[in-house]
Amino acid sequence: MLKEGQVRIPSGCAISGMFSKAGKCFNGEAIIKSIEIMHDRSNGLGGGFAAYGIYPEYKDYYAFHVFYDNTAVKKECEEFLHRHFDIVLDSEIPTRKIPQITDEPIIWRYFVTPLPAKLKNSHLDEKEYVVRCVFKVNTRFSGAYVFSSGKDMGVFKAVGYPEDVGRFYRLEEYNGYCFTAHGRYPTNTPGWWGGAHPFALLDYSVVHNGEISSYDANRRSIEMYGYKCTLQTDTEVIAYIVDYLNRKMGLSFQEIASVIAAPFWQTINKMPPDQKARAEYLRNIFGSFLVTGPFSILVGFEGGMMALNDRLKLRSMVCGEKDDMIYIASEESAIRIIEPELEKVWSPAGGVPVVVTLNGGNA
């Protein structure tokens, strides 16, 4: 299914995702298997997973996953967290020592809820308050990095091959209704734990394969709305755009897709007048969030997942369906390895999103 002949040329990244529409929970073994078969699409400089529905007992709390370079910055950062949040539980994230994963930082997890008085005084809504605190940690404390901040979900990532990263984080011990995975072949940033994917903010997580040509246009535009692109990765900027359009602008994921991978004018011109007016409106108003260049992305969010290709489909992406399960991956092999008997396999067209939700909920 690889159209660009990437099979023989190991470049680009690998993404994979699986989602139970019925909300059935399964553990992380399958997703590791899926991403592992695309080993050659990564180069050992980063891998990671996002898992949804994994913290049911703490589902009302924001789960912060944090990398610390040293105990000094951890102490400093925790003071900050204590000033802004009620921390109901904090612990080291359990890992398994394996030779493939080295130089790990201190990896800590906090379940938090904003301090009511602080939140009230900030005149912000709760999510915005959390976002600002996350940005503050990530920009103010050198050596501290919040890489996961959503509710009932978590990101697990590291420098290494993704399958090793999954085993390092003992992913088989987590049960969730949705997992996404990423194997990284970085070309434009050096490998760093924080720079591995998924990239997440609140419960939005993004895994991405590609190199977008609109990066600086997107970055400079989204930064106007209070986001800081500290990582300088495509994935980060896409995550912020999704957050902005969904959380702040209230666009649906279908609408977000028609901003990020907007239909061509030649397509819009053929639409019925009503639909055309709306499509034109989105392209006019949100033009600076159009993402060009090759990408395939999986966006995880609370209760759903969206897969999207760039409008020319310059990156491979395949979907498969069996019962209530949806599988989406860079290569069909990554789906077949975990579910050989698929009811349906298809390759979504460029710019056409695949949005799945729990029990057919809204997205």
Partner 1 sequence: MGINYIVPEYRVVRDPDRCIGCRVCERQCANEVHSFVPQTGKMAADDAKCVNCHRCVSLCPTGALRIVKNEDTFKINANWSNKLMQEIYRQADSGGVLLSSMGNPEPYPIYFDKILLNASQVTNPSIDPLREPMETRTFLGAKTKKIQRDKDGKIIPNASPYLELKTPIMFSAMSYGSISYNAHESLARAATELGIYYNTGEGGLHDDFYQYGANTIVQVASGRFGVHADYLDTAAAIEIKMGQGAKPGIGGHLPGTKIVGDISRTRMIPEGSDAISPAPHHDIYSIEDLRQLVFSLKEATNYQKPVIVKIAAVHNVAAIASGIARSGADIIAIDGYRGGTGAAPTRIRDNVGIPIELALAAVDQRLRDEGIRDNVSIVVGGSCRCSTDVFKAIALGADACYIGTAALLALGCHLCRSCHAGKCNWGIATQRPDLVKRLNPDIGYKRLVNLVEAWTHEIKEMMGGMGINSIESLRGNRLMLRGVGLNEKELEILGIKHAGE
Query: Which positions ≥6 away from 359 have C-beta within 8 Å?
Result: 21, 22, 23
Q: What is the rounded CA–CA span in Å between residue 313 and residue 362?
A: 26
**Residue 293 near partner 1 by CB under 8 A:** yes
| Contact pick of 16, 311, 316, 327 for partner 1 (by CB under 8 A) | 311
Interacting stretch for partner 1, rule CB under 8 A, among 40-48, 115-123, 274-282, 316-324? 274-282
- Angle at Cα 99 formed by Cα 97 and Cα 103, nearest 5°? 75
**Residue 173 near partner 1 by CB under 8 A:** no
**Residue 139 near partner 1 by CB under 8 A:** no
Interacting stretch for partner 1, rule CB under 8 A, among 121-129, 191-199, 208-216, 318-326? 208-216
Nearer to partner 1, 188 or 359 (CB): 188
Interacting stretch for partner 1, rule CB under 8 A, among 99-107, 171-179, 272-280, 341-349? 272-280
**Token couple for 231:** 């990582």
Binding mask 152-171 for partner 1 (x = CB under 8 A): --------------------
From the CB of residue 158, how many other CB atoms can be counted at a distance below 10 Å? 28
Q: What is the rounded CA–CA span in Å between residue 74 and residue 81?
A: 10
| Contact pick of 56, 116, 287, 361 for partner 1 (by CB under 8 A) | 287
Q: What is the rounded CA–CA span in Å between residue 281 and residue 208?
A: 27
Number of H helices and number of E strands within the chain?
11, 18
- 13 is an active site residue: yes
Interacting stretch for partner 1, rule CB under 8 A, among 57-65, 201-209, 301-309, 311-319? 311-319
Number of residues that bind partner 1 (CB under 8 A): 47
**Residue 187 near partner 1 by CB under 8 A:** yes
Q: What is the rounded CA–CA span in Å between residue 167 and residue 148?
A: 19
From the CB of residue 185, how many other CB atoms can be counted at a distance below 10 Å? 17
| Contact pick of 123, 274, 344, 360 for partner 1 (by CB under 8 A) | 274
Contact 14, 38 (CB under 8 A): yes
Minimum CB–partner distance for residue 207 and partner 1 (Å): 17
Contact 81, 88 (CB under 8 A): no
Q: What is the rounded CA–CA span in Å between residue 55 and residue 152?
A: 5
- Which residues is 200 bridged to in the sheet? 205
**Residue 285 near partner 1 by CB under 8 A:** yes
Minimum CB–partner distance for residue 68 and partner 1 (Å): 31
- Angle at Cα 232 formed by Cα 139 and Cα 309, nearest 5°? 130
**Residue 125 near partner 1 by CB under 8 A:** no
**Residue 357 near partner 1 by CB under 8 A:** no
**Residue 41 near partner 1 by CB under 8 A:** no
Dump the DSSP string for 289-314. G---SSEEEEEEETTEEEEEE-TT--
Q: What is the rounded CA–CA span in Å between residue 180 and residue 155?
A: 9
**Residue 45 near partner 1 by CB under 8 A:** no
Q: What is the rounded CA–CA span in Å between residue 307 and residue 202?
A: 19
Query: Which positions ≥6 away from 267 have C-beta within 8 Å?
Result: none
**Residue 290 near partner 1 by CB under 8 A:** yes
Binding mask 314-353 for partner 1 (x = CB under 8 A): x---------------------------------------
**Residue 216 near partner 1 by CB under 8 A:** yes
> Which residues does the annotation mark as catalytic?
13
Residues that bind partner 1 (CB under 8 A): 4, 11-12, 187-188, 210-218, 220-221, 223-225, 249-251, 255, 262, 264-266, 274, 277-278, 280-288, 290-294, 311-312, 314
